[in-house]
Every structure is written in C-alpha cells, then in structure tokens.
C-alpha cells in the first residue's frame, strides 16, 4: 500500500480534500469487490506517476454510503476525477492504466 493514497474515512474529510486540492482522483471501492482489488495496483501506479499533480483517494462505499449516493455510484470500481471540487471525468469498471492516464492527461493538462 502506497502512502501517496488518501483513504477517506468520512464525508467531511472528503469535502475538505475536494476543497483543498485542485485535482483529486477518487477510487470508489469495497473490500469484498474482486474487480476493485484488480485495479488497486493500477491506482497505486497512478498515485506514483502523478504525485504532486493529482491527489489520489479511495472511498469505501460500504463505509461512506452518503458519498456513493451523492455521486451516483451504482457499480464499483468507479474512478472519478474531480477538478476544483466538481466531477470532471469518470471511469467505471476494470480498465488498463492507459485509460486512467489518458483521462488524467486530458483533464489536467
């Protein structure tokens, strides 16, 4: 587990993170979700590659149902890119690293 990933514990912590950081990539996941575990190494690679440019966070949908409802998360994994606190882009399901880097490069350039 990389220290470059922020594990969001509650809604207020999430809101503070969005208010503080320009770009936040959030992985909505759950511990029981096999596809979520499959993309975990990809999320870690992103955290390393975009360190200092994009804040990477994980939100456990079981522990933060309010956030799941707020952002319409209906299937996991769902990875959402926020820019200045607003949803900028979204990827749903297991995707290769290139899908996420393309999304990030397009929206953070």
Q: Which sequence positions are flagged as catalytic?
A: 33, 36
Instruction: Please state, in angstroms and rounded to a whole number, the distance separating the CA atoms of residues 98 and 8.
Output: 25
78-104 as b/e: b if 16+ CB within 10 A:
bbbbbbeeeebbebeeebeeeebeebb
């Amino acid at each position: 587990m990389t220290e470059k990933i922020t594990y969001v514990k509650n809604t207020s912590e999430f809101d503070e993170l969005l208010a503080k950081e320009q770009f936040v990539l959030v992985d909505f996941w759950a511990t029981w979700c096999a596809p979520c575990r499959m993309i975990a190494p990809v999320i870690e690679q992103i955290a390393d590659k975009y360190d200092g440019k994009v804040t990477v966070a994980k939100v456990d949908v079981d522990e933060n149902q309010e956030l799941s409802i707020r952002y319409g998360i209906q299937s996991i994994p769902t990875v959402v890119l926020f820019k200045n606190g607003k949803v900028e882009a979204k990827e749903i399901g297991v995707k290769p690293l290139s899908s996420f880097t393309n999304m990030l490069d397009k929206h953070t350039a």
